Chains A and B, each alone.
Chain A
Amino acid sequence: MKFIKSSLRTIRRSPYQAFAAILIMMLTFLTISFFTFLLSGSARIINFFESKPQVTAFFRNETKQSEINALEAQVKNTGKVSSVKLVSKQEALKIYKEQNKDDPLLLDLVTADILPASLEISTFKISDLSVISEMLKKSPAVSEVIFQKDIVSTLVSWTAAVRSIGSGLIIVLSLVSTFIMITIIGIRISQRKEDIEIMRLIGASDWYIRLPFLFEGMFYAVLGAVIGWTIASLSLWYLAPFLSSFLKGIPIFPVSLIFLLGVLLAELVFAIILGFISSFLAVLRYLR
């Protein structure tokens, strides 16, 4: 383990280069962490909407129960729906109270009368959603139809865009990190040229000379990954109450510790690979 000592000594002696290397790695892994959290959150939001009834029809206040029942039967008779759920005014109030239990002011102002009854419908095929939606819109008892296919497809396209931007940014930052690391390790090798020459002449093998530099590259990357992940996780923890109230009803929080540790583990593996590749390229380039 002498190569570890040797690497740590070099890092201590040139703190600015070490700081630059750790900083660029931290930036890369901070971005990776943020985009991972963002994509994972988006996936859960999409899942949430996909698992919900895909068409919701809200009834007018004056609609009679018999009219509602008639429409429900009409929808069922199409043979295209997998489930139909009637949410009465009382049930709607119950849901509202559950969602706003922490805000007494909102609870005081609302009664069952002002909340509409609704019909939540899922179809076997996505293509049948528009047929059902049109049928519901034509009914005089229905005041509004929410077609969640639109929400899901908008979310999917947003997530795809975020994934593309994230992937692009991560690739660019990884490349920048690699080039900066190659330069920094190259400077290190140049600084120790005399030592390396002497070590070779007294019988040091190529790997004995290379190991401290490879370790140094991996050390920067791993430290950068740990710092980046810590900052991203702390930010998520800090923003959780705000995001939680913003995404009311969508069960994203709390984020599980296992998920966070899984992200850290994956980032550490990537950091080791990135650090190894960058320092190995530097060693190949400068230690012939």
Chain B
Amino acid sequence: MIKLEKVSKKFGTGVFGLVDINISVDKKEFAFLAGPTGSGKTTIFKLLIREILPTEGTVVVNDWDLAKLPKYKIPHLRKKIGMVFQDLKLLFGKTVFENVAMPLEVAGVKAGEAKQRVDEVLTQVGILEHKDKFPIQLSGGELQRVAIARALVLSPEILLADEPTGNLDPATSWEIVKLLSDINEKGTTIIMATHNADILKNLSKRVIALEKGKIVRDDRPANEASKIKKEETKK
């Protein structure tokens, strides 16, 4: 589903954001991207939504080689990938409902259908009662839920969450992680960037650890690792 092969990214300043990394994420998988600030987590997300291109290597999402993807197809790619941005990127002049409905508007979904879908997804993330409020009236956890709802509203196959627990207290952080786990169980592939050690330690999921743009560790939980081994033996 997602494959990064020998990917390096050199920025205009001459600094390398990523150095020769290989990552493969399967369908319906939940993977954490872990590492300190500046380790390259956000750069990977930017490559996956083709906000930037790799300096070397190939990035493949859903059989699309992103370096070869024509410009006019980028909107199609971005409709297939839901993204929760680190800075949320919510519009503060629009209500919760309007923010969440934006991807549907962009996709040309009819108003009645869009209203129904927004209500569904707001119910799923547990903030339906706040739908007519403006972002400024919500708490940090609620804002994260709005961002998750907007990322989910087009029922994407992949959800990328860039530090969604970054500014939250531990209890709210766990609520968000639980919400993302539930979404993953329903079949969405999730990659979540975090440097919250507590979450990484207590949740039995794959962890891809980055440091200075290089992968220093790629651990799968024991049960998943044995499942993959079995599948490989079958092949």
Contacts and interface: CB of A to CB of B under 8 A. Distances in A.
Interface of A: 2, 194-195, 197-206, 208
A194 B106 CA distance: 16
Given A202-B78, A203-B77, 13 more contacts: A195-B91, A198-B102, A199-B102, A200-B78, A201-B49, A201-B89, A203-B76, A203-B78, A203-B79, A203-B107, A203-B154, A205-B72, A205-B106
Contacts of B231: none
A203 B91 CA distance: 16
A194 B49 contact: no
A2 B108 CA distance: 9
B103 A203 contact: yes
5 contacts: A194-B91, A198-B102, A202-B83, A203-B79, A205-B106
B166 to A, nearest CB: 18
Interface of B: 49, 51, 72, 75-79, 83, 85, 89, 91, 102-103, 105-107, 150, 154
Nearest to B88: A198
Does more than half of chain A's interface fall in helix, strand or loop, or is it mixed?
A: helix
Contacts of A201: 49, 51, 78, 83, 85, 89
Contacts of B83: 201-202
B112 to A, nearest CB: 14
A2 B76 contact: no
Given A203-B78, A204-B106, A198 B89 contact: yes
B64 to A, nearest CB: 14
A197 B85 CA distance: 12
B91 A202 contact: no
Contacts of B154: 203
A198 B91 contact: yes
A176 B86 CA distance: 44
Given A2-B105, A195-B91, A208-B106, A202 B150 contact: yes
B111 to A, nearest CB: 9
A204 to B, nearest CB: 4
A201 B75 CA distance: 8
Contacts of B85: 201
Nearest to B71: A206
Contacts of A202: 78-79, 83, 102-103, 106, 150
Contacts of B150: 202
Contacts of B79: 202-203
A195 B49 CA distance: 18
Contacts of A195: 91
A2 B72 CA distance: 21
Contacts of B75: 203-205, 208
